[in-house]
Structure 1
Amino acid sequence: MMMFAATGKIVPRPGRAVDIAGRLGLAAAPTFALMASMSAIGSPGMAMCSAASAFVAINDMALMYLLMSVFHLSPWLKLLCARSQRSGTPVTQTEGD
């Protein structure tokens, strides 16, 4: 926040808040992916108690965290698209392109 001496009014700086919110959005997908892996590996005794453990290799919480990670990938995709447009070169390049 900035304060102008002449008017005494406090004027918020929206750029900083947007920057912090953007960084927070980037933190969501890796955090949920880590939580998914931790809950999938977590406690092997709990997987034995589940009736569906023979059919599904991933438990309910790991599946939920994995889905949340996928749904929160959009800030990462926007960042990759912005970088590729800025540099003029594609982020990934296949053979023959």
Structure 2
Amino acid sequence: MSDKITSIVGARPRGHGEAVARILSLAAAPTFAIMALIAAAAPADMLCAAMQGPLSLQGMVPMYALMSAFHLAPWLRLVR
């Protein structure tokens, strides 16, 4: 089990909690991206749809997209 976690996180962590934190940090960006896709595919409430334009920055989709972008740092460190 320890070797499997080490291969996922890259460097050998000091403790189990550190490995879990690193895995969770890698899970944040894809989770928010999936939530943005689900929110975009979900039918909008009629009242909310009437108040928003086609390129509006209001709503859940832009929020999840921004959260996904802000949580990309662990992925960029992993690639680098």
Q: TM-score surpassing 0.5?
A: yes
Match of 2:8 in 1: none
- Quick check: which one's helix share is greater? 2
Gaps of 5+ in 1: 1-13, 82-97
Is 1:25 matched with 2:25? yes
* In 2, Cα distance between equivalents of 1:48 and 1:42: 13
TM-score (norm 2): 0.70
Identity of aligned residues (%): 42
- Larger Cα-atom Rg: 1
Deviations 1:69-94 (A, max 9, x none): 0000000000111xxxxxxxxxxxxx
Cα shift at 1:44 = 4.6
Following superposition, which runs of at least 4 residues in structure 1 exceed 6 angstroms of deviation?
none
Q: Which of the pair has the greater relative contact order for Cα pairs under 8 Å at 6+ separation?
A: 2
Is 1:65 matched with 2:51? no
Deviations 1:14-60 (A, max 9, x none): 5211111000000000000000011011115548733223x416751
Is 1:39 matched with 2:46? no
In the alignment, residue 28 of structure 1 is paired with which amino acid? A
> 3-state DSSP class of the match of 1:50?
helix
Q: CA RMSD in A?
A: 2.4
> 3-state DSSP class of the match of 2:55?
coil
Residues 33 and 66 in structure 1, CA contact (< 8 A), matched pair in contact too: yes
Gaps of 5+ in 2: 1-13
